[in-house]
Structure 1
Amino acid sequence: MDLFNTVSWNFIDTEYESAKDFNANFLKYQIKTGKEASSWNPDEIVIENEAVDIVFMAWIEKNALADNETLLEEEDFFDDESKSEFGLFQADIQARLFADNGENFPASELMYKLDKQIKPKELGDEHCFEGLGALQSDTAVPKFYLFCGTSNTSSR
Protein backbone atom coordinates (compact mmCIF):
# COMPACT_ATOMS: atom_id res chain seq x y z
CA MET A 1 0.00 0.00 0.00
CA ASP A 2 1.45 3.34 -1.06
CA LEU A 3 0.60 6.55 0.80
CA PHE A 4 0.14 10.22 -0.05
CA ASN A 5 0.57 9.90 -3.83
CA THR A 6 -2.08 12.60 -4.40
CA VAL A 7 -0.47 15.29 -2.25
CA SER A 8 2.65 17.38 -2.62
CA TRP A 9 5.05 19.08 -0.25
CA ASN A 10 8.39 20.86 -0.31
CA PHE A 11 10.89 20.00 2.41
CA ILE A 12 12.76 23.31 2.12
CA ASP A 13 9.94 25.62 3.16
CA THR A 14 9.25 27.05 6.61
CA GLU A 15 9.74 25.14 9.85
CA TYR A 16 6.54 24.91 11.90
CA GLU A 17 6.06 25.40 15.61
CA SER A 18 3.18 22.93 15.90
CA ALA A 19 1.35 20.18 14.05
CA LYS A 20 -1.66 22.51 13.81
CA ASP A 21 0.39 25.21 12.03
CA PHE A 22 1.92 22.57 9.78
CA ASN A 23 -1.45 21.12 8.79
CA ALA A 24 -2.91 24.56 7.96
CA ASN A 25 0.06 25.33 5.73
CA PHE A 26 0.05 21.84 4.22
CA LEU A 27 -3.55 22.34 3.08
CA LYS A 28 -2.70 25.77 1.62
CA TYR A 29 0.22 24.20 -0.24
CA GLN A 30 -2.08 21.60 -1.82
CA ILE A 31 -4.28 24.37 -3.21
CA LYS A 32 -1.25 26.43 -4.33
CA THR A 33 0.20 23.49 -6.27
CA GLY A 34 -3.13 22.56 -7.85
CA LYS A 35 -3.62 19.38 -5.87
CA GLU A 36 -7.07 18.29 -4.77
CA ALA A 37 -7.44 19.75 -1.30
CA SER A 38 -10.41 17.44 -0.82
CA SER A 39 -8.09 14.42 -1.09
CA TRP A 40 -6.26 15.49 2.09
CA ASN A 41 -7.94 14.19 5.23
CA PRO A 42 -5.62 15.14 8.12
CA ASP A 43 -7.49 12.94 10.60
CA GLU A 44 -7.49 9.78 8.46
CA ILE A 45 -5.59 6.95 10.16
CA VAL A 46 -3.01 5.95 7.55
CA ILE A 47 -0.88 3.54 9.61
CA GLU A 48 -2.35 1.19 12.19
CA ASN A 49 0.84 0.70 14.15
CA GLU A 50 2.69 2.48 16.95
CA ALA A 51 5.79 2.92 14.77
CA VAL A 52 6.76 3.20 11.11
CA ASP A 53 10.12 2.96 9.34
CA ILE A 54 10.86 5.46 6.60
CA VAL A 55 13.74 4.85 4.19
CA PHE A 56 15.13 7.84 2.32
CA MET A 57 18.23 9.11 0.52
CA ALA A 58 20.17 12.11 1.77
CA TRP A 59 23.63 13.61 1.66
CA ILE A 60 25.19 13.32 5.12
CA GLU A 61 28.45 13.80 6.96
CA LYS A 62 30.10 10.92 8.76
CA ASN A 63 28.42 10.34 12.16
CA ALA A 64 25.59 12.80 11.38
CA LEU A 65 22.62 10.52 11.93
CA ALA A 66 19.76 11.44 14.25
CA ASP A 67 19.10 9.16 17.24
CA ASN A 68 16.18 7.46 15.47
CA GLU A 69 18.13 6.85 12.23
CA THR A 70 20.09 3.86 10.93
CA LEU A 71 22.56 3.94 8.05
CA LEU A 72 21.63 1.37 5.40
CA GLU A 73 25.11 1.15 3.89
CA GLU A 74 28.16 -1.06 4.29
CA GLU A 75 30.17 -0.70 7.49
CA ASP A 76 33.10 0.93 5.65
CA PHE A 77 30.85 3.30 3.68
CA PHE A 78 32.52 6.50 4.89
CA ASP A 79 36.07 5.18 4.31
CA ASP A 80 36.01 5.88 0.55
CA GLU A 81 36.40 9.65 0.15
CA SER A 82 35.77 9.29 -3.62
CA LYS A 83 32.11 8.70 -2.71
CA SER A 84 31.83 12.14 -1.12
CA GLU A 85 31.15 15.60 -2.46
CA PHE A 86 32.16 18.54 -0.29
CA GLY A 87 32.44 16.18 2.69
CA LEU A 88 28.93 14.75 2.23
CA PHE A 89 28.08 11.17 1.31
CA GLN A 90 24.91 10.13 -0.52
CA ALA A 91 23.40 7.46 1.70
CA ASP A 92 20.26 5.46 2.27
CA ILE A 93 18.93 6.02 5.78
CA GLN A 94 16.10 4.48 7.75
CA ALA A 95 14.25 6.55 10.36
CA ARG A 96 11.83 5.07 12.88
CA LEU A 97 8.93 7.35 13.77
CA PHE A 98 6.60 6.76 16.72
CA ALA A 99 2.91 7.67 16.97
CA ASP A 100 2.05 10.22 19.62
CA ASN A 101 -0.84 8.09 20.89
CA GLY A 102 1.22 4.87 20.86
CA GLU A 103 -1.30 3.18 18.56
CA ASN A 104 -1.55 4.69 15.06
CA PHE A 105 -0.71 7.61 12.77
CA PRO A 106 -3.24 10.11 11.47
CA ALA A 107 -2.19 11.56 8.09
CA SER A 108 -1.33 14.99 9.52
CA GLU A 109 0.87 13.56 12.28
CA LEU A 110 2.82 11.35 9.87
CA MET A 111 3.41 14.21 7.40
CA TYR A 112 4.42 16.57 10.22
CA LYS A 113 6.90 14.03 11.61
CA LEU A 114 8.26 13.39 8.11
CA ASP A 115 8.73 17.12 7.63
CA LYS A 116 10.60 17.47 10.93
CA GLN A 117 12.78 14.42 10.14
CA ILE A 118 13.66 15.35 6.57
CA LYS A 119 13.87 19.16 6.67
CA PRO A 120 17.36 19.28 8.30
CA LYS A 121 18.76 16.83 5.73
CA GLU A 122 20.59 17.74 2.53
CA LEU A 123 18.47 16.30 -0.27
CA GLY A 124 20.23 17.96 -3.17
CA ASP A 125 17.76 19.04 -5.85
CA GLU A 126 15.23 16.37 -4.85
CA HIS A 127 13.44 18.15 -1.99
CA CYS A 128 9.83 17.79 -3.18
CA PHE A 129 7.70 15.07 -1.60
CA GLU A 130 6.18 12.63 -4.11
CA GLY A 131 4.73 9.96 -1.83
CA LEU A 132 5.59 6.91 0.25
CA GLY A 133 6.02 3.49 -1.36
CA ALA A 134 5.49 0.35 0.69
CA LEU A 135 8.55 -1.82 1.29
CA GLN A 136 8.93 -5.37 2.60
CA SER A 137 9.57 -5.24 6.34
CA ASP A 138 11.43 -7.89 8.34
CA THR A 139 9.52 -6.87 11.48
CA ALA A 140 5.96 -6.01 12.48
CA VAL A 141 6.79 -2.34 11.88
CA PRO A 142 5.56 -1.15 8.46
CA LYS A 143 8.27 0.24 6.17
CA PHE A 144 8.01 2.83 3.39
CA TYR A 145 10.38 4.48 0.94
CA LEU A 146 10.17 8.27 0.77
CA PHE A 147 10.01 9.40 -2.86
CA CYS A 148 11.30 12.89 -3.56
CA GLY A 149 11.72 14.76 -6.82
CA THR A 150 12.81 18.11 -8.16
CA SER A 151 9.36 19.69 -8.42
CA ASN A 152 5.83 19.11 -7.18
CA THR A 153 4.46 19.00 -10.71
CA SER A 154 5.80 15.52 -11.34
CA SER A 155 4.04 12.33 -10.33
CA ARG A 156 5.27 8.81 -9.71
Structure 2
Amino acid sequence: MGLLSNIVWAFNNHHYNDIEDFNKEVAHYQTLILKEKAIWDANQIVINAPEIDICYEAWIKGKEDILSNETVTDEDDIFNEDNSDDGLFQVEFCARLKARNGKQFTALELLFQLENQLANKDLGDHVFFEGLTSNDAEKQKNGAPLYFMYLGS
Protein backbone atom coordinates (compact mmCIF):
# COMPACT_ATOMS: atom_id res chain seq x y z
CA MET A 1 0.00 0.00 0.00
CA GLY A 2 1.51 3.31 -1.08
CA LEU A 3 1.55 6.68 0.58
CA LEU A 4 -1.79 8.53 0.21
CA SER A 5 -3.19 5.59 -1.76
CA ASN A 6 -6.48 5.99 0.14
CA ILE A 7 -6.89 9.51 -1.28
CA VAL A 8 -8.68 10.04 -4.57
CA TRP A 9 -7.85 12.97 -6.81
CA ALA A 10 -7.95 13.79 -10.51
CA PHE A 11 -5.24 16.16 -11.70
CA ASN A 12 -6.88 18.92 -13.71
CA ASN A 13 -4.11 21.10 -15.19
CA HIS A 14 -5.06 23.91 -12.86
CA HIS A 15 -2.49 25.90 -10.92
CA TYR A 16 -3.87 26.72 -7.47
CA ASN A 17 -2.71 29.85 -5.65
CA ASP A 18 -4.70 29.36 -2.46
CA ILE A 19 -4.08 26.16 -0.48
CA GLU A 20 -7.36 26.52 1.44
CA ASP A 21 -9.39 26.69 -1.80
CA PHE A 22 -7.54 23.58 -2.94
CA ASN A 23 -8.27 21.86 0.39
CA LYS A 24 -12.01 22.50 -0.06
CA GLU A 25 -11.90 20.97 -3.55
CA VAL A 26 -10.01 17.89 -2.34
CA ALA A 27 -12.41 17.38 0.60
CA HIS A 28 -15.41 17.74 -1.73
CA TYR A 29 -13.90 15.30 -4.25
CA GLN A 30 -13.28 12.70 -1.49
CA THR A 31 -16.96 12.86 -0.48
CA LEU A 32 -18.18 12.91 -4.07
CA ILE A 33 -16.24 9.77 -5.04
CA LEU A 34 -15.90 7.79 -1.80
CA LYS A 35 -19.16 8.86 -0.09
CA GLU A 36 -19.18 7.72 3.58
CA LYS A 37 -15.78 6.01 3.17
CA ALA A 38 -14.08 9.37 2.53
CA ILE A 39 -11.09 10.00 4.76
CA TRP A 40 -9.31 13.33 4.26
CA ASP A 41 -7.09 14.54 7.05
CA ALA A 42 -5.45 17.56 5.45
CA ASN A 43 -3.15 18.15 8.44
CA GLN A 44 -1.87 14.58 8.73
CA ILE A 45 1.92 14.52 8.52
CA VAL A 46 2.67 12.07 5.71
CA ILE A 47 6.40 12.63 5.12
CA ASN A 48 8.79 13.60 7.86
CA ALA A 49 11.51 15.20 5.74
CA PRO A 50 12.20 18.80 4.68
CA GLU A 51 12.75 17.89 1.00
CA ILE A 52 11.73 14.98 -1.21
CA ASP A 53 12.15 13.91 -4.80
CA ILE A 54 9.08 12.75 -6.73
CA CYS A 55 9.47 10.89 -10.03
CA TYR A 56 6.67 10.64 -12.61
CA GLU A 57 5.91 10.53 -16.33
CA ALA A 58 4.16 13.25 -18.33
CA TRP A 59 3.89 14.64 -21.84
CA ILE A 60 5.34 18.04 -22.69
CA LYS A 61 5.70 20.20 -25.79
CA GLY A 62 9.36 21.01 -25.26
CA LYS A 63 12.11 22.11 -22.89
CA GLU A 64 10.10 25.22 -21.97
CA ASP A 65 7.71 22.94 -20.04
CA ILE A 66 10.45 21.70 -17.70
CA LEU A 67 10.15 23.55 -14.39
CA SER A 68 13.17 24.82 -12.45
CA ASN A 69 12.81 22.14 -9.75
CA GLU A 70 12.54 19.29 -12.29
CA THR A 71 15.21 17.14 -13.85
CA VAL A 72 14.65 14.81 -16.78
CA THR A 73 15.79 11.30 -15.90
CA ASP A 74 16.69 10.30 -19.47
CA GLU A 75 17.76 13.26 -21.58
CA ASP A 76 19.12 11.22 -24.47
CA ASP A 77 17.26 12.29 -27.58
CA ILE A 78 13.91 12.90 -25.86
CA PHE A 79 13.07 15.83 -28.13
CA ASN A 80 13.80 13.97 -31.35
CA GLU A 81 10.81 14.30 -33.69
CA ASP A 82 10.78 10.50 -34.03
CA ASN A 83 9.79 10.36 -30.35
CA SER A 84 6.95 12.85 -30.79
CA ASP A 85 3.27 12.02 -30.64
CA ASP A 86 1.11 14.87 -31.96
CA GLY A 87 3.81 17.35 -31.00
CA LEU A 88 4.20 16.03 -27.45
CA PHE A 89 7.12 14.15 -25.92
CA GLN A 90 6.80 11.60 -23.13
CA VAL A 91 9.32 12.43 -20.42
CA GLU A 92 10.31 10.92 -17.09
CA PHE A 93 10.83 13.61 -14.46
CA CYS A 94 12.07 13.89 -10.92
CA ALA A 95 11.02 17.03 -9.05
CA ARG A 96 12.45 18.33 -5.79
CA LEU A 97 9.69 19.45 -3.43
CA LYS A 98 10.39 21.43 -0.27
CA ALA A 99 8.17 21.52 2.81
CA ARG A 100 6.98 25.05 3.55
CA ASN A 101 7.79 24.68 7.24
CA GLY A 102 11.22 23.20 6.47
CA LYS A 103 10.42 20.02 8.44
CA GLN A 104 7.69 17.80 7.00
CA PHE A 105 4.81 17.51 4.55
CA THR A 106 1.16 17.30 5.46
CA ALA A 107 -1.25 15.45 3.17
CA LEU A 108 -2.66 18.79 1.98
CA GLU A 109 0.68 20.43 1.26
CA LEU A 110 1.99 17.40 -0.59
CA LEU A 111 -1.08 17.04 -2.81
CA PHE A 112 -1.16 20.83 -3.35
CA GLN A 113 2.45 20.83 -4.52
CA LEU A 114 1.87 17.80 -6.75
CA GLU A 115 -1.16 19.42 -8.41
CA ASN A 116 0.79 22.60 -9.11
CA GLN A 117 3.82 20.62 -10.28
CA LEU A 118 1.74 18.88 -12.95
CA ALA A 119 -0.39 21.89 -13.94
CA ASN A 120 1.63 22.54 -17.13
CA LYS A 121 1.94 18.88 -18.12
CA ASP A 122 -0.24 16.67 -20.29
CA LEU A 123 -1.02 13.42 -18.48
CA GLY A 124 -3.00 11.87 -21.30
CA ASP A 125 -5.73 9.77 -19.76
CA HIS A 126 -3.63 9.01 -16.65
CA VAL A 127 -5.01 11.84 -14.51
CA PHE A 128 -6.06 9.89 -11.41
CA PHE A 129 -3.71 9.96 -8.42
CA GLU A 130 -2.98 6.45 -7.15
CA GLY A 131 -0.43 7.27 -4.47
CA LEU A 132 3.31 7.39 -3.97
CA THR A 133 5.74 4.57 -3.40
CA SER A 134 8.95 5.15 -1.48
CA ASN A 135 12.24 3.90 -2.87
CA ASP A 136 14.16 3.42 0.38
CA ALA A 137 17.06 1.70 -1.37
CA GLU A 138 17.85 4.74 -3.50
CA LYS A 139 18.10 8.36 -2.50
CA GLN A 140 18.71 11.27 -4.79
CA LYS A 141 21.37 13.94 -4.29
CA ASN A 142 21.57 15.42 -0.80
CA GLY A 143 19.92 12.33 0.68
CA ALA A 144 16.32 13.42 0.02
CA PRO A 145 13.80 10.56 0.14
CA LEU A 146 12.74 9.39 -3.32
CA TYR A 147 9.12 8.58 -4.24
CA PHE A 148 7.46 7.41 -7.42
CA MET A 149 4.04 8.82 -8.22
CA TYR A 150 1.49 6.52 -9.81
CA LEU A 151 -1.29 7.82 -12.02
CA GLY A 152 -4.13 5.81 -13.49
CA SER A 153 -6.89 6.17 -16.02
Query: How far apart in 2 are the matches of 1:91 and 1:102?
Result: 29
Pairing of 1:36-51 with structure 2 (within 5 A): 36-37=37-38, 39-51=39-51
Amino acid at match of 2:67: A
Amino acid at match of 2:40: W
Q: Displacement of 1:76 after TM fit? A: 2.9
**Alignment TM-score, normalising by the size of structure 2:** 0.88
Aligned twin of 2:26: 26
Query: How far apart in 2 are the matches of 1:19 and 1:85?
Result: 34
Q: Displacement of 1:13 after TM fit? A: 6.6
Query: How far apart in 2 are the matches of 1:15 and 1:62?
Result: 19
- How many residues are treated as equivalent by the alignment? 148
Structure 1 portions without partners, runs of 5+: 151-156
**Structure 1 residues 22-67: Cα deviation after superposition (integer angstroms, max 9, x where no partner):** 1111011011111632x32111111111111110100113312000
Q: Displacement of 1:15 after TM fit? A: 4.4
Amino acid at match of 1:101: N
Query: How far apart in 1 are the matches of 2:56 and 2:10?
Result: 15
Aligned twin of 2:76: 75
Query: How far apart in 1 are the matches of 2:5 and 2:101?
Result: 25
Amino acid at match of 2:82: S
Contact 2:49 2:104 in 1 (8 A): yes
Pairing of 1:80-91 with structure 2 (within 5 A): 80-91=80-91
Contact 2:70 2:93 in 1 (8 A): yes
Among candidates 125, 129, 145, match of residue 148 of structure 2: 145
Amino acid at match of 2:44: E
Q: Displacement of 1:134 after TM fit? A: 1.2
Identity across matched positions, percent = 37
**Structure 1 residues 74-102: Cα deviation after superposition (integer angstroms, max 9, x where no partner):** 43332x32111122111100111111011
Amino acid at match of 1:107: A
Q: Which region of structure 1 is more displaced relative to structure 2, 80-89 or 120-129?
A: 80-89
**Alignment TM-score, normalising by the size of structure 1:** 0.87
Root-mean-square deviation over aligned CA pairs? 1.7
What SS does structure 2 have at the residue aligned with 1:23? helix
Aligned twin of 2:66: 65
Amino acid at match of 2:150: F
Structure 2 portions without partners, runs of 5+: none
* Runs of 4+ residues deviating >4 angstroms: none
Aligned twin of 2:3: 3
